[in-house]
A = this chain, B = another copy of it.
């Protein structure tokens, strides 16, 4: 079982990151979930159900999220050629531009927080975080 100190440190990082992401998203009228959808679609072309499963959301929730993102021109629905019931979700060029912009802002926003760590410590942190990882993640 993890120590209190470890659980607390992880919780603190999580809420700090969520705050940063929420603020960056808000600047672009994007919720945390929309931000995450956009991030996922950068290198994937999932169908609705896959996306919902990955995010841990109901498929009906997914319909609403994609409706709103599509209305803004950030993603689009495509017919799946192999299964006529399925709908693929694809990011648009405008969505891709926004996703990259948000990612840059995130890097810049995290810079001050991480300024306390030198290069060697940063590498260590990446290794430790990647080791603390379930195979399926």
A81 lies within 8 A of chain B by Cβ? no
Interface positions, chain A 112-137, Cβ under 8 Å from B, are 112-114, 116-117, 121-122, 124-126, 128-134, 137
* A107-B10 in contact (CB<8A): no
Kindly identify which residue among B6, B36, B113, B122 contacts A15, using a CB–CB cutoff of 8 Å: B36
Please measure, in the bound complex, the distance between the C-alpha atom of A86 and the C-alpha atom of B110, giving whole angstroms. Answer: 35
* B132-A114 in contact (CB<8A): yes
A16-24, A61-69, A71-79, A91-99: which lies at the B interface? A16-24
Most chain B CB neighbours (cut-off 10 Å) among A107, A110, A117, A129: A129
Q: Which residue of B lies closest to A11 (CB)?
A: B17
A101 lies within 8 A of chain B by Cβ? no
* A110-B7 in contact (CB<8A): yes
Q: Contact mask A36-59 → B, CB, 8 Å, 1/0?
A: 100100000000000000001000
Q: With A107-B1, A117-B128, A122-B3 given, is the CB distance from A13 to B13 under 8 Å?
A: yes
Nearest 4 interchain pairs by C-beta: A9-B129, A14-B17, A125-B128, A116-B131
List 30 contacting pairs A-B, 8 Å CB cutoff, sorted by A. A1-B108, A1-B111, A3-B122, A3-B126, A6-B122, A6-B125, A7-B103, A7-B106, A7-B107, A9-B125, A9-B126, A11-B17, A11-B21, A11-B106, A12-B129, A12-B133, A13-B17, A13-B132, A14-B18, A15-B36, A16-B133, A22-B56, A113-B134, A114-B132, A117-B131, A117-B132, A121-B131, A124-B128, A125-B132, A128-B128
